[in-house]
Amino acid sequence: MGWLLYTMAAPPALAVLLRLLSAVLPRGPARLASFAAFCVTSVVCMAVCASYGVVASIVLRLVGYGGLSQWTVARSFKWTMWWTTGVTFRVLESSRVEGGRRGGPEALETRPAVFVGNHQTELDVLMLGCVFPKYISVTAKKSLKYYPFLGWFMALSKTVFIDRANRATARAAFDGAAKTMREERQSVFIFPEGTRSYTEKPELLPFKKGAFHLAVQAQVPIVPVVVANYSHVLDVKKRIFNPGVVDVSVLPPIPTKGLTTADVDVLTVKTRDAMLDELIRLSHVSGTGNAVPLPRASKATAVENGVDGVEGLKQRY
């Protein structure tokens, strides 16, 4: 039993030691020590919250509220990370209204919906912890299902696991997700870039179309979630970490009612364009524009003009 206690105490003790070293070492080594302390602390917080998630998921499923599993664990991760690392994400208030649909925190209440967000680093797990609405699940690569604690929690909390190497099983997973969305009003969060960008500029990788096929198949709206570039808070390539608050902008929902598979390409481009424009705008608001010019008021979207569905997309593009 003693060895187990020592094993559990070792990571937190290491994190404390690294933080102490970062306060006394010269600038270069101190920066690396601070980054290492953040990494160790993050892993410890995730392990603790995932362990809590296993128990919470079982209890919530037994009482008929299994759809709240990821939300309740997300909030626990939000606060443990804020208390231990000093980093968090905040959703900006928005007066933006497009086609009668409002952005900001109000858009997060859209249910069911396919939420899509830009994917920068591993810290996006904390972003989910801070912005997750109730009754939502994530998609994840199938291999995560077999990780101790984290995988157990994800399997119990209605995560949609995707086998990227097998198109047939991936399609079956999305078919099941679409059915769940319609029957249980459960939303899904997807990173359409498919991988982390690790970019220092307000940029997006090309979007994969799975999220948009799912939204069209389930006939539910897409809610774009745009996270400001936060390389000043965490830069994995340069091994830099600084406590801070990262802004998140939630755009008004984009309707898919009446759309078909033939409209997915246009829908993907439309969503990515809107998210990239907002990402660049956020970089200027935060003072980290990185010499990227503000987006021109070029294409006014069909949503902005109050036009929905198929005809809106046709008029827009």
User: Pairing state of beta strands 187-190 and 114-117?
Assistant: parallel
Give the ranges where 86-233 is alpha helix by DSSP (H): 105-108, 124-131, 150-156, 167-184, 210-218
Query: Does the structure show a pLDDT above 80 at 294?
Result: no
- pLDDT tens track for 83-116: 999 999 999 987 677 777 888 999 999 999 999 9
- pLDDT tens track for 13-54: 889 899 999 999 999 999 999 999 999 999 999 999 989 999
Domain boundaries, the chain: 88-316
Q: What is the mean pLDDT of residues 249-264?
A: 94
What is the rounded distance in angstroms from the CA atom of residue 112 to the CA atom of residue 225? Answer: 15
What is the rounded distance in angstroms from the CA atom of residue 235 to the CA atom of residue 7? Answer: 29
**Which CATH number applies to 88-316: 1.10.3470, 3.40.1130, 1.10.390, 3.40.50?**
3.40.1130
- Phi, psi of 46, rounded to the nearest 5 degrees: -65, -40
CA-CA-CA-CA dihedral for 228, 163, 52, 14, to nearest 10: -70
